[in-house]
């Protein structure tokens, strides 16, 4: 998919997160070392022409960096994910991917849309708390910058929270964070602040839904199993099918 997208002329590209999936059914698709090496190269080549958003699969790698597999205690991880593997964590340390991991953003804004991995719940992003959405976004940036290097100092922070739908039974919130929010049961369209998210492809597949953008109000979910991408041109959002 990435090769096809890079063939097009673009001003900027936004990646929606989850760069390190490694579930049992995915093993064998790509060698972890080859994937990290390619990611390292693409990150350097794109430079300022790309924004890389953080996904729930990426959090534990940020948390344990730069530990090797021998140094990692999976039971002590504050931001666990079942797809996490100490081997990939070791390879990330070997390739010195600190700039990539700690450069991952919680969200960004393109045109009128707030873009994040899973979406913001209205209780986290009140639409009218500040006069301009950009003010709220700046505060979110600051919160993320503080939290991503200190997960253990604030275990109950909303960024760490997994809603009950995603098996977050101990969460004090009734919904997930912007990297865990479930599109089907927790996501709510925020008036005056449409969002673009990913994160829901697995649920869509299990529900037998077609691979096409999902809509709630003016918000879109475009995690389509790497089968396409969206583009903005002159204020218009267009969907492009890759296959």
Domain identity same for 93 and 178: no
Distance CA 225, CA 99 (A): 27
pLDDT confidence of residue 196:
93
Domain identity same for 198 and 150: yes
Average pLDDT over residues 84-108: 94
Average pLDDT score over the chain = 83
Domain identity same for 41 and 111: no
- 51 within domain boundaries: yes
End-to-end CA distance of the chain: 9
Q: How many Cβ atoms are within 10 Å of 184's Cβ, its own excluded?
A: 14
Distance CA 173, CA 121 (A): 11
Residue 27 has pLDDT above 60, yes or no: no
- 11 within domain boundaries: no
How sure is the predictor about 25, in pLDDT bands with cuts at 50, 70 and 90? low
Domain identity same for 116 and 229: yes
Average pLDDT over residues 175-200: 90
pLDDT in tens, 148-178: 888 877 788 888 888 888 776 555 678 889 9
**Total domain count for the chain?**
2
pTM: 0.89
Domain identity same for 33 and 100: yes
Domain identity same for 125 and 163: yes
Domain identity same for 42 and 69: yes
* Closest by CA position to 201, among listed 91, 117, 131: 117
Q: Give yes or no for a cis peptide into 66 (omega within 30° of 0).
A: yes
Distance CA 229, CA 224 (A): 8
Residue 135 has pLDDT above 80, yes or no: no
Domain limits at 77? 17-104
Domain identity same for 100 and 219: no
3-state secondary structure of 78: coil
- 3 within domain boundaries: no
How sure is the predictor about 179, in pLDDT bands with cuts at 50, 70 and 90? very high
pLDDT confidence of residue 55:
94
- Domain final residue, candidates 84, 104, 124: 104
- Domain final residue, candidates 82, 104, 126: 104
Residue 29 has pLDDT above 70, yes or no: no
pLDDT confidence of residue 47:
93
- Domain final residue, candidates 78, 104, 130: 104
Domain identity same for 94 and 112: no
pLDDT confidence of residue 48:
94
Domain identity same for 59 and 170: no
């Amino acid at each position: 998919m990435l090769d096809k997208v890079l063939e097009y002329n673009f001003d900027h590209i936004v990646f929606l997160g989850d760069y390190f999936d490694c579930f049992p059914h995915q093993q064998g698709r790509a060698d972890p070392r080859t994937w990290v090496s390619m990611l390292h190269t693409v990150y350097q080549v794109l430079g300022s022409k790309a924004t890389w958003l953080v996904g729930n699969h990426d959090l534990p790698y940020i948390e344990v960096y730069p530990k090797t597999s021998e140094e990692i205690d999976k039971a002590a991880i504050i931001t666990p994910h079942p797809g996490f593997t100490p081997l990939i964590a070791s390879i990330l340390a070997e390739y010195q991917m600190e700039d990539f991991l700690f450069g991952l953003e919680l969200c960004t804004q393109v045109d009128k849309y707030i873009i994040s991995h899973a979406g913001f719940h209205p209780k986290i992003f009140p639409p009218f708390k500040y006069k301009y959405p950009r003010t709220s976004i700046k505060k979110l940036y600051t919160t993320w910058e503080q939290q991503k290097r200190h997960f253990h100092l604030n275990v109950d922070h909303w960024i760490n929270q997994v809603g009950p739908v995603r098996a977050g039974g101990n969460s004090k919130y009734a919904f997930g964070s912007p990297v865990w929010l479930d599109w089907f049961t927790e996501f709510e369209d925020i008036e005056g602040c449409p969002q673009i998210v990913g994160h829901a492809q697995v649920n869509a597949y299990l529900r037998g839904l077609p691979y096409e953008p999902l809509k709630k109000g003016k918000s879109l979910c475009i995690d389509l199993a790497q089968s396409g991408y969206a583009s903005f041109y002159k204020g218009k959002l267009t969907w492009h099918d890759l296959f």
